[in-house]
Amino acid sequence: MSRFIVVCDVDSTLINDEVIDLLADAAGTRDAVAAITEKAMRGEIEFAESLAQRVGTLRGTSAKALDDVLGAVTVTNGARQLVHAVHEAGGYIIAVSGGFHEILDPIATQLGLDAWAANGLEVVDGAFTGRTYGPLIDAAAKANFLTSFAKKKRVPLSSTIAVGDGANDLAMMNIAGLSVGFCAKQAVREAANVNIDVRDLSLVAPFFGRRAS
């Protein structure tokens, strides 16, 4: 593989956490959010609706919660090594998230990712409004983000690797040259070309012919 792209999901993939759950803890809405998440996982509501409902529970909560959440989030083992290995090999590494810019931006910058996309959490007068802003990042948008980045860099989709754990990652995994389930949910495990069951992202490196160290 010469030029290639690795695209990673964020929640439970690039990071160990689900940011919406941490935000819900801060807002005191963990149970409500868990109930909505379960409905979405049973396929009773679409991602857009579940995102709107979950973010809706944050309304009125101080946006200072973002600092606490950012402090609590942990980057997955091997992420730094993976970024280094991709760049050493002349590739690009990007992330796309159904979560939020406010958390992803500092993490992506620190890791040295080449591009990323996420939803925005609207804040007015220091508190969450319970709405998102900007383009909705759902499963289709994740796939589109990979497609347009690949086009911009003139990398064929056959030279892309998509890494994810959830249903929202299936569309981008379907169009990538290689799909990697990362400690993935059952439906994703079954659809993935290969699965990594250890929380160590450096294990993606052998798929583009490198050993991360």
Distance CA 84, CA 99 (A): 24
Q: Is 9 a catalytic residue?
A: yes
Compute how many residues bind Mg ion; rule: CB under 5 A: 6
Q: Could you tell me the two tokens for 177?
A: 């040259």
Ranges of beta strands (E only) in the chain are 5-8, 92-100, 115-124, 127-133, 160-164, 178-182, 194-196
Contacts of 144 (CB under 8 A, 6+ apart): none
Given candidates 17, 102, 138, 165, which one binds Mg ion under the rule CB under 5 A? Answer: 165
Please identify, among the stretches 1-9, 79-87, 101-109, 113-121, the one whose residues bind Mg ion according to the rule CB under 5 A: 1-9
Please identify, among the stretches 8-16, 26-34, 127-135, 138-146, the one whose residues bind Mg ion according to the rule CB under 5 A: 8-16
Question: Shortest distance, CB of residue 172 to Mg ion, whole angstroms?
Answer: 11
Q: Per rule CB under 5 A, is residue 29 in the interface with Mg ion?
A: no
Q: Per rule CB under 5 A, is residue 166 in the interface with Mg ion?
A: yes
Q: Per rule CB under 5 A, is residue 11 in the interface with Mg ion?
A: yes
- The CA-atom distances, in angstroms, between 200 and each of 67, 78, 119, 154, 197 are 26, 5, 26, 29, 8
Question: Shortest distance, CB of residue 212 to Mg ion, whole angstroms?
Answer: 21
Q: Could you tell me the two tokens for 119?
A: 């939803």
Q: Per rule CB under 5 A, is residue 138 in the interface with Mg ion?
A: no
Which residue in 11, 17, 138, 165 is the catalytic one? 11
Question: Shortest distance, CB of residue 103 to Mg ion, whole angstroms?
Answer: 13
Identify whether the C-beta of residue 59 lies closer than 8 Å to the C-beta of residue 128: yes
Q: What amino acid positions are annotated as catalytic residues? A: 9, 11
Residues lying near Mg ion in the complex (CB under 5 A): 9, 11-13, 165-166
